[in-house]
Chain A
Amino acid sequence: MVAPIPHDEKVPILEVTDFQVELITATGVVRAVDGVDLVIRRGETVTIIGESGSGKSTTAMGVLQLLPADLAVYSGSVKVGGVDLLTDRGAADRIRGRMVSLIPQDPMTALSPVHTIGRQLGEAVKLAGYDGEAAQQRSLELLEGVHIRQPAEQLRKYPHQLSGGMLQRVLIAIALAGHPVLLVADEPTSALDVTVQAGILDLLLELQERTGVGILMITHDLGVARLVSDRIHVMKDGRFVETGNAEAVVARPQQDYTQRLLAAVPELGPWDDRPRPETALTGGGTR
């Protein structure tokens, strides 16, 4: 099973200070991330919420140093477990896939279509230092940890044989292979149906409860943010316009932009979840 992560409580898992990302495009330099600060400690989920073009995905990719070297220029500091990735150039490669993992957005395209699940999960497991029989065992453990039934059978399958939700669970399993202390989840449920999404979010919450892993969540969906976060940063045009406790930001937004954003979200309202006497399909359509 996925073991709890030993961690020095005094050092934050992730400490981002004055982080800036500039992108050199053909038409000029774009400042995608304009000086942001955030901290994630053990067992915390910090969410960056924003609309398209706000810079939230660029922040996540930047933290992981996954942007192309000839496109992005970083400044500020990004400390993972106390080590600054921007000053220690090799550090990012050492910790990516181990201390810090990415859960990508679209499960249907994030896996190689010509390799089996077992092969792809196996790669991640081997990178974490397992070999042979132990690697196989670890793969099965990881799949069980994300609640995939009949894991041995699933290992032999190809991505196109699995549903979106199962693929996302596989991606989470891959992310967990290296015993990460931090998961970066970039819109992990945007491409999924709403019932499937609920399952994935439940899994993430469960993993956090069990192992204390920190999560940096990127999303545009306020419902998702409210559900999974300890703290929320609202991002616009490369900056955080509002920061705070998840409850407070949603219930008592202070900034104009956040208020407008919240006002624009359509409400579902309370509802009655009691089973009703099952009538034959409510017919009659419209009246």
Chain B
Amino acid sequence: MTTTMTPGPATAPERKERPSAVTPAQLQSAGARRRQRWAQVKLRVGAVCALLVVVPVVLAGVLPLPGPNEQDLGARLLPPLTEGHLFGTDQLGRDLLSRVLYGGRTSLMIGVLAILVSGLIGIALGAAAGFFGGWIDAVVSRLLEAQLSLPLLLMLLLVVALFGPSIPVITGVIAIAQWPEVARLTRSLVLVEREKPYVAAAQVLGLHRLSILSRHVIPNIVRAATLVVLLLLAQAVLLESALSYLGAGPERPFATWGRIIADGQDYITTAWWLVTLPGLFIVLLVVGVNLVGDGLRDRTRRPRRRPTQTKEA
């Protein structure tokens, strides 16, 4: 249908309801929908993987398992799926599943505590550096850079060698290893937010700078920052595993995953489960947490309410 355009007085074309040209196939393959679906998939798969690890670890005490340190020299190196030993046994006859679950408690606890500490320190220092600038930024940034330039694992081993492999020391050491990344991201986020007019408006209203930082800036960046902190949980667990594999991990009350792997490495060709199954737990947790983080980040938010209608714009 064409409307001929002739120069002259203004005209208005007639109105009619028009059918949509969007096919169901196009709806399915549209970018926005695909991204949404993908984010959902990642979230679900990640949650399942992570829960597969976390739930048994948390429930370790109530599951009908032999104790993790119970030796049974008559039942050494049994393969997985043997009667009474789902994951098999190690060279001292200890049930592997039980060791992995109880060890996991310590690993997870260290991981969670470490990211809590590194998260708090990182966000606080990063926000202060980004917002106030000046000497605070100079000090924090130089500390950040210095730490990032040190070889991480060697540094951690040194600290453990000096102060002993106890749980508080290991947690502290991992937290210290991780805070620079959180701080650096938070600093960037705050630098961007700081230039926005609503921050200037708060200043014009007469708020103190610290108030502006805590009441306006931090609440707006905290979501992005905590996402990074969540992703660091995986890194914390990996770091702890690396430390305990190298023999610098906590030994009491239970050997953690890295140590279990270290203990089993001599038998890698004869009793593969001693190394592979704890490793699998680590992989599941790390992949699960990372997928959950990705899914949360990519998830598109549906607007909860329709825009406000008023008679004036």
Contacts and interface: CB of A to CB of B under 8 A. Distances in A.
Contacts of B34: 70
Nearest to A247: B7
A241 B10 CA distance: 10
A29 B20 contact: yes
B9 interface: yes
A242 B12 contact: yes
Given A37-B13, A248-B8, A27 B30 contact: no
Given A18-B1, A26-B32, A70-B31, A254 B12 contact: yes
B2 interface: yes
B26 A24 contact: yes
A149 to B, nearest CB: 36
Interface in A215-247: 230-231, 239-245
Contacts of B302: 26-27
Contacts of A37: 1-3, 13
Interface string B1-21: 111010111111101101011
Interface in A175-226: none
A27 B12 CA distance: 32
Secondary structure type dominating chain B contacts: loop
Contact of A244 (B10, B22, B29, B300): B10
Interface residues on B, range: 20 to 34
B246 interface: no
Given A27-B302, A31-B20, A39 B12 contact: no
B26 A20 contact: no
B9 A70 contact: no
A135 to B, nearest CB: 37
A73 interface: yes
B11 A254 contact: yes
A123 interface: no
Contacts of B300: 26
Nearest to A16: B2
Contact of A22 (B8, B20, B33, B36): B20
A17 B36 CA distance: 34
B303 interface: yes
A38 B5 contact: yes
B222 interface: no
A70 B13 contact: no
Contacts of A284: none
Contacts of B59: none
B11 A239 contact: no
Given A71-B30, A244-B9, A27 B303 contact: yes
A64 interface: no
B2 A75 contact: no
A253 B12 CA distance: 11
Nearest to B18: A35
Nearest to B301: A26
Contacts of B22: 22, 24, 29, 73
Smallest CB-CB A-B distances: 3 pairs: A244-B10, A70-B31, A24-B30
Interface of A: 15, 17-18, 20, 22, 24-27, 29, 31, 34-35, 37-39, 68, 70-71, 73-75, 230-231, 239-245, 248-249, 252-255, 258
Interface of B: 1-3, 5, 7-13, 15-16, 18, 20-23, 26-27, 29-36, 300, 302-303
